[in-house]
Amino acid sequence: MKKAFTVARWEFFEKVKSKTFIISLFLTPAIIIAFSVLPTLMATGESDTTKAIGILDLTQEYFSDFKDEIEVYKLKSSIPAYAILNNFKPGLTADSLIKSADAMVIENKLDGYILIRQNGADSVKVEFRTKSIGNFQDIARFEEAFNNLRIKRKLVAENVSPQIIEFIKQRINVNQVKIEKPGEEGKGGFEMVFFSSIIFILLLMMMIIYSGQMLVRSMLEEKSNRLIEILISSCTPQDLLFGKVFGLSTLGFTQVLVWLLIGFSLIGAAIVPISSFDNIHLILLYFILGFIFYTTLFVGIGSVASTEQEAQQITSYLSLLLVLPSIFIISTLQNPDSSLVKIFSYIPFTLPSVMILRVNVSPIPLWEIAVTVLIMIFSITLTIKISAKIFRFGILYYGKMPTLAEIKVWLKD
């Protein structure tokens, strides 16, 4: 056991001193922050220039009222958000009007235009035609403006009093509130939960992949220069395996610690809200368990590689297994109690990331936490046993990759 710690200390200090580690230590959080904060900033950030919007009203019924409704929207500096232009000219066919309006958009004279035409006897069809689609805010505003206009007209025609019209125009939005304990509201909406979960899952994945690759590569070095023979004539393969996993885990947690410190200092700067760290103890628990599980797996399976390509193959397959649960991020968030999500939170490969997500989305009963943690501990013990056996043979295995049949023989020995 003493020798395992010697190995762990070596693995830790040699890697901590390396340039790649120091770079990744600061580069990774920078990337994550860029990925998680920038889209939010960009999505909510308003455009600060007035947009030139045309209206081509082929029904000739809505233009002036619609214009008034849209011009209600102002930019921060109380300048109108939209400058409205009438694209309708009498005496021209609908087709030529649409073509000339399209041309104005293409030539950048307009940011886009709204096309209103009759759709059957009692309905109209409205299109916002623009070069770049995807601005949800504009669409939402045009939609609201047009619907308000239609409802108001109909009600006026039916002689409804103006007060009632105002009442109907007022919209009520439904807000989502997360409950953690009776009477206690959780903070943060969907985006918040989404981003804080993503941060930790991204962290976990990047860390596992990064240190997994480092591990497999260093084993490959030891194998190719036969240092491995000196190592295992000095300590047992179990010592070596334990030392490597322990050393790298310590390294990983040093990394997380630094990242958390960066995270907390960003809370101070109000970039990352404190609610991202509400369930930090549970998140860290699953994080650590997941990390140890995968690292052990990497050591065992990685030990059979004897060329750089094989090592890359092995690490990318394992990483794929690891990234798999991220497919379910959205569905987990939308429906954390679905049976699929439940199943994945009992499979050791997906358990850590799914649980990190679930912990953030909805409160989890204590028994489930206990069961999942036990599953992880059991799986880790099992992988250590299996990995140690594969490792013992794998580190002395050169040439082509061993077949499953060969590995079976190793496991029996």
Partner 1 sequence: MLEVKNLVKTYGQLKAVDNLTFAVKPGKIFGMLGPNGAGKTTTIRTILNIIKPNSGEVLLNRKPVTPELFNSIGYLPEERGLYKKSKVWDIIIYFAHLKGMNSSLIKSEADKWLKKLEIPHYKDRKVEELSKGNQQKIQFITAVIHNPELLILDEPFSGFDPINQQLIKDVILDLLDNGKIIILSTHQMDTAEKLCNEILLINEGKEVLSGSLSEIKQKFGGNHIKFSYEGDVKFLSDLNEVISFELYSNEAEIQLKDDIKPEAFLRKIIDRVTIKQFSIIEPTLNKIFIDSIKNKN
* Residues that bind partner 1 in the complex, under the rule CB under 8 A: 2-3, 6-7, 10, 13-14, 18, 221, 224-227, 229-236, 396
Rounded Cα distance, 198 and 195, in Å: 5
Name which of 216 and 356 has its Cβ closer to partner 1.
216
Name which of 230 and 327 has its Cβ closer to partner 1.
230
Name which of 143 and 229 has its Cβ closer to partner 1.
229
> C-beta of 282: minimal distance to partner 1 in Å?
38
> C-beta of 245: minimal distance to partner 1 in Å?
17
> C-beta of 366: minimal distance to partner 1 in Å?
43
> C-beta of 174: minimal distance to partner 1 in Å?
58
Residue 114 pairs in a beta bridge with: 55, 128
Q: What is the 3-state secondary structure (H, E, C) of the chain?
A: CHHHHHHHHHHHHHHHCCHHHHHHHHHHHHHHHHHHHHHHHHHHCCCCCCEEEEEEECCCCCHHHHHHHHCCCECCCCCECEEEEECCCCCCCHHHHHHHHHHHHHCCCCCEEEEEEEECCCEEEEEEEECCCCCHHHHHHHHHHHHHHHHHHHHHHCCCCHHHHHHHHCCCCCCCCCEEECCEECCCCHHHHHHHHHHHHHHHHHHHHHHHHHHHHHHHHHHHCCHHHHHHCCCCHHHHHHHHHHHHHHHHHHHHHHHHHHHHHHHHCCCCCHHHHCCHHHHHHHHHHHHHHHHHHHHHHHCCCCCHHHHHHHHHHHHHHHHHHHHHHHHHHHCCCCHHHHHHCCCCCCHHHHHHHHHHHCCCCHHHHHHHHHHHHHHHHHHHHHHHHHHHHHCCCCCCCCCHHHHHHHHHC
> Residue 65 class from Cβ within 10 Å (0-12 exposed, 13-18 middle, 19+ buried)?
middle
Q: How far is CA 284 from CA 253, 288, 291, 386, in A?
A: 10, 6, 10, 26
Name which of 7 and 55 has its Cβ closer to partner 1.
7
> C-beta of 341: minimal distance to partner 1 in Å?
44
> C-beta of 230: minimal distance to partner 1 in Å?
6
Rounded Cα distance, 406 and 409, in Å: 5
> C-beta of 224: minimal distance to partner 1 in Å?
7
> C-beta of 382: minimal distance to partner 1 in Å?
23
Name which of 227 and 261 has its Cβ closer to partner 1.
227
Rounded Cα distance, 189 and 203, in Å: 21
Name which of 29 and 247 has its Cβ closer to partner 1.
247
> C-beta of 236: minimal distance to partner 1 in Å?
5
> C-beta of 6: minimal distance to partner 1 in Å?
5
Name which of 7 and 380 has its Cβ closer to partner 1.
7
Name which of 12 and 259 has its Cβ closer to partner 1.
12
Name which of 11 and 69 has its Cβ closer to partner 1.
11
Name which of 225 and 334 has its Cβ closer to partner 1.
225
